[in-house]
Structure 1
Amino acid sequence: MRAGRLTNGQFAWLLMLPALALFLAIIAYPLISSVVTGFFEQSLVRPGRAFTGLANFADVLGGDFWPVLRNTLVFTAGATIVPFLIGYALALALNAGIRGSGLMRGLFLFPWVIPGVVVSFLWLWIFNANYGVLNGILLRLGILDAPVSWLGEPATAMIAVIVTKSWASFPWIMVMLLAGLQTMPKELHEAASVDGAGAIRRFISVTLPHMKGIASIVVLLEFIWNFQHFDTIYVLTGGGPAGATETFAVAVYDTAFKGFDLGHATALGGLWMLLLLVLVAFYLRHETKERS
Structure 2
Amino acid sequence: MSTVDTPGPRPRGVTAAGRLSDRTFAWLLVLPGLAMFAVIIVYPLVASLATGFFEQSLVKPGRRFTGLSNFADALKGDFWPVLWRTVEFTVGATALPFVLGLALALALNSGIKGGGLLRGLFLFPWVIPGVVVSFLWLWIFNANYGVLNGVLMRSGLMDTGISWLGRTDTAMLAVIVTKSWASFPWMMVMLLAGLQTVPKELHEAAAVDGAGAIRRFRNVTWPQIRGIAGIVVLLEFIWNFQHFDTIYVLTGGGPAGATRTFAVAVYDTAFKGFDLGHATALGALWMVLLLGAVAVYLRAEGKGAR
Question: TM-score normalised by the shorter chain: which range applies?
Answer: over 0.9
Indicate the larger mover: 160-169 or 219-228.
219-228
CA offsets, 1:33-53, max 9 Å, x none? 111111111100111111111
Which letter does structure 2 place at the counterpart of 1:36?
A: A
Correspondence for 1:190 among 187, 204, 227: 204
Residue of structure 2 in register with 1:103 after alignment: 117
CA offsets, 1:67-121, max 9 Å, x none? 0000000000000110011011101100111111110011101111111111111
Structure 2 residue 51 is the aligned partner of structure 1 residue 34: no
Q: CA RMSD in A?
A: 2.1
Indicate the larger mover: 27-36 or 14-23.
14-23
1:9 Cα offset (Å): 5.0
CA offsets, 1:223-249, max 9 Å, x none? 111111111111111111111001111
| Mapped partners of 1:74, 1:146: distance in 2 | 28
Structure 2 residue 180 is the aligned partner of structure 1 residue 166: yes
Q: What is the count of residue pairs matched by the alignment?
A: 292
1:277 Cα offset (Å): 1.3
Could you tell me the percent identity over the aligned residues?
Answer: 77
1:281 Cα offset (Å): 2.5
Q: Under a length normalisation based on structure 1, what TM-score does the superposition of the two structures give?
A: 0.93
| Mapped partners of 1:31, 1:176: distance in 2 | 31
Which letter does structure 2 place at the counterpart of 1:203?
A: F
Correspondence for 1:234 among 248, 251, 255: 248
| Mapped partners of 2:226, 2:28: distance in 1 | 43
Structure 2 residue 152 is the aligned partner of structure 1 residue 138: yes
User: Is the partner of 1:155 in helix, strand or coil?
Assistant: coil
User: Is the partner of 2:55 in helix, strand or coil?
Assistant: strand
- Shift of the 3–255 alpha-carbon distance from structure 1 to 2, 3 Å rule, reads farther
Question: Unmatched 5+ residue regions in structure 2?
Answer: 1-14
| Mapped partners of 1:72, 1:118: distance in 2 | 22
CA offsets, 1:193-246, max 9 Å, x none? 111222222222222222222222221221111111111111111111111001
Structure 2 residue 168 is the aligned partner of structure 1 residue 154: yes
Correspondence for 1:83 among 97, 101, 119: 97
Residue of structure 2 in register with 1:43 after alignment: 57
Q: Under a length normalisation based on structure 2, what TM-score does the superposition of the two structures give?
A: 0.89
| Mapped partners of 1:213, 1:14: distance in 2 | 34
| Mapped partners of 1:45, 1:39: distance in 2 | 18
| Mapped partners of 1:227, 1:251: distance in 2 | 13
- Shift of the 199–5 alpha-carbon distance from structure 1 to 2, 3 Å rule, reads closer
1:57 Cα offset (Å): 0.7
| Mapped partners of 1:34, 1:82: distance in 2 | 34
User: Is the partner of 1:154 in helix, strand or coil?
Assistant: coil
Residue of structure 1 in register with 2:191 after alignment: 177
Which letter does structure 1 place at the counterpart of 2:213?
A: A
| Mapped partners of 1:119, 1:147: distance in 2 | 22
- Shift of the 194–11 alpha-carbon distance from structure 1 to 2, 3 Å rule, reads closer
| Mapped partners of 2:172, 2:110: distance in 1 | 34
Which letter does structure 1 place at the counterpart of 2:282?
A: L
User: Is the partner of 1:41 in helix, strand or coil?
Assistant: strand
